Structure 1
């Protein structure tokens, strides 16, 4: 009965044939089942065709119109304030503290005795060596007189002289060991908090206190190697602390002799004018990089990073066009675009993740750079 049917793409979708099949199927159960599957196939075919003929989905986006902006080329870096001189006070030898002169937070001068360790055994050895030295010197003096009249041979005198020199060396060693039991301030500085009590047993690993020379403060910071030309000895930079919005100034005094190969950053040191900041404080360092310049600036979130490039979406003829761009300075309001777009281009700033290349887009609103900065 199917020899006259027109079969196309595996389906039979002629309405006259469907009607004929239906009347025949009323007398044949097998044909009735075939008719049901046949009708469902035709309906599915029509639905797919309707979907294929539907218009593509339009993505709603917000945009900004690219324009120029006055940029101040300021490089911002993170820095840490350090004291001009700083150290932890440790004893050189182990022993019991017999004297402790570390008032919390006090200022001390260079050479001030901060602590003394028990040296009674060393002092006893020194006294013994002094007695031995006195006897050895008298012996050497008598033998020298005898040698002058050939009363003894040269070897006996040399042995006596050598004994004197050995005892003198022992005395110097003992004095050096006794000197190590006295802890002095190596420079004028402010003491930190005392970490031990009088009479405590200490070792070279024990921290007794800290010393910070805070009359002259420095700031250490790092910058990417691309900005190395901005940091020269004698250049002035501005610094801002987290608890004080007022800027202070610092003078660059030195840079590290090499760039860190892991981070590609250069370490820089500057001396702060003023000493109202505590060592260890976190600061922002602002480096002036040149004059003002007119540049195209777009919001940071409009940039689409790629493995090898950066892209922006530009609306042209109602479609989203992906363009490669070169970025430059970053400011609080956005990113400088050095190439890739022109003044007047419409740049997508919201919904960038949903726009497909050359797909239709609908502009909901035109934003300004200031509005987007406030929203962030």
Structure 2
């Protein structure tokens, strides 16, 4: 009897322990987190403008950094900062005293050699001197003349002149400074005919050609008038990083602006069309492709897309999304592929702000 009571006690204790362990295991089971809350829009064709916008930079018609070709001390300096000068104006001279002395020495040697040839020439006619001696004297004259030309070329390199008509920039050196060919004395720019460079995605290359015109606005001068610029050249190779084409134009109406100023370019690409447009911040970029997140049967679905024209705050989708698709516009960072999402509301494109 006593043994039976002990057995019942141990069975009861075991049951309590098992129930306690089972209860703890149930408490340890993780609770499922609710699906992320997102806002969506219904993809619908929108009217897309036929104007392509691009950013450009005003550049001078001609630009040069003035470097000395010779190394030495500056003995003359004429840099009228911000002033217009003509081609050939002497801007700087490098000390050339040693070269001038060598030039004078060569000129004296030339005169002596020429006099000797002049004396030998009559004697050669009467065979008073052999041909070899006369040829040696004549060769001395030619060699000395070559030395003079070489020394004169070195002297010419000590003079820095304006290569074209233009405006001189700020002076970078002082009189008496020791300079080499790596030092910049000043800059020169020709600003009477301004150019403008801009970049354009290569997919729009079919809309531009040499000789065609684009419209330009210059923010620096606060002018809202659109100026005309003619395309004079197109870089044949696209940038390997951005895949953009570089285009050079020349402003046609003598527009006044500083080289380096920002410009906005407007390029017509033909008739307007209807395209699906989504907010730019919906796009998930990567090194390989671009993606949008659609909602299919209550689940998020990552979809590869191809983008087209960029608008103000929006971007055109040319491939990957069909009319009527549900596109996630907020909560993009929390959505996971093929996982449920909770749609809070459906927004219109206009309400999302540009």
Report the TM-score when normalising by structure 2.
0.83
Aligned to 2:195: 218
Which residue is 1:280 aligned to? 260
2:189 counterpart SS class? strand
Instruction: Specify the alignment match of 1:201 in structure 2.
Output: 178
CA contact (8 A) 1:320 1:355 kept: no
| Alignment of structure 1 residues 137-148 onto 2, 5 Å | 137-148=114-125
Where does residue 290 of structure 1 map in the other structure? 270
Separation of aligned partners in 2, 1:236 and 1:89: 34
Displacement, 1:28?
Answer: 4.5
Q: Which secondary structure does the structure 1 equivalent of 2:110 belong to?
A: helix
CA contact (8 A) 2:72 2:180 kept: yes
Please say if residues 300 and 341 of structure 2, whose CA atoms lie closer than 8 Å, have aligned partners that are also in contact.
no
Does 2:17 match 1:37? yes
Q: Which residue, 54, 57, 62 being the options, matches 1:77?
A: 54
- Structure 1: distance between partners of 2:170 and 2:82: 6
Give the corresponding residue for 1:267.
246
Unaligned runs of 5+ in 2: none
Q: How does 1:49-64 map to 2 (within 5 A)?
A: 57=34, 59-64=36-41
Asked whether the equivalents of residues 73 and 178 of structure 2 are also in contact (C-alpha less than 8 Å), the reply is yes
8 Å contact kept, 1:72–1:290: no
Instruction: Decide which moves more: 159-168 or 32-41.
Output: 32-41
Mapping of residues 129-208 of structure 1, within 5 Å: 129-208=106-185
Equivalent residue of 1:215, what SS?
coil
Distance 1:162 1:337, change over 3 A: closer
- Measure the CA separation in 2 of the matches of 1:323 and 1:170: 78
Counterpart of 1:361? 342
Are residue 230 (structure 1) and residue 211 (structure 2) matched?
no
Paired residue for 1:18?
A: none
Provide structure 1 residue ranges, at least 5 long, that are not aligned to the other structure.
1-23
Give yes or no for the alignment of 1:109 onto 2:86.
yes
Counterpart CA distance in 1 for 2:131 and 2:300 is: 105
Secondary structure (helix, strand or coil) at the match of 1:310 reads strand
1:48–1:131 distance in 2 versus 1, CA, 3 Å: closer
**Contact between 2:37 and 2:341, CA under 8 Å: does it hold in 1?**
no
Task: Show CA shifts across 1:224-279 (max 9, x none).
Answer: 33222122101222334453463433211112233344543332211123342222
Contact 1:114 1:184 in 2 (8 A): yes
Partner of residue 118, structure 1: 95
Q: Decide whether aligned partners of structure 1 residues 167 and 93 sit closer, same or farther in structure 2, where only a CA change above 3 A counts.
A: same
Whole-angstrom CA distance in 1 between matches of 2:330 and 2:198: 36
1:88 matched to which residue of 2? 65
Is 1:350 matched with 2:350?
no
Say which SS state the counterpart of residue 192 (structure 2) adopts.
strand
Sort the Cα spacing of 1:215 and 1:305 in 2 relative to 1 into closer, same or farther, 3 A: closer
Assess, with a 3 A threshold, how the Cα gap between structure 1 residues 152 and 81 changes in structure 2: closer, same or farther.
same
TM normalised by structure 1 equals 0.79
Q: How does 1:301-316 map to 2 (within 5 A)?
A: 301-303=281-283, 310-314=291-295
Q: Which has the larger radius of gyration?
A: 1
- How far off its partner does 1:59 sit? 4.8
**CA distance in 2 between partners of 1:334 and 1:192 (Å):** 42
1:322 to 301, 304, 313: 301
- Greater Cα offset, 126-135 or 85-94: 126-135
C-alpha spacing 1:107/1:309, structure 2 compared with 1 (3 Å) = closer
**Pair 1:336 & 2:316 matched:** yes
For residues 348-370 of structure 1, give each alpha carbon's deviation from its aligned partner in whole angstroms, at most 9, with x where no partner exists.
Answer: 3223444564736343x332212
Asked if the contact 1:102–1:194 (Cα under 8 Å) also holds between the matched residues in 2, the reply is yes
Distance 1:34 1:305, change over 3 A: farther
1:355 touches 1:361 (CA, 8 Å); kept in 2? no
Aligned with residue 251 of structure 1, among 218, 230, 236: 230
Which SS does the other structure have where 2:272 is aligned?
strand
**RMSD over aligned Cα atoms:** 3.2
Q: Is the 8 A contact 1:66 1:345 kept in 2?
A: yes
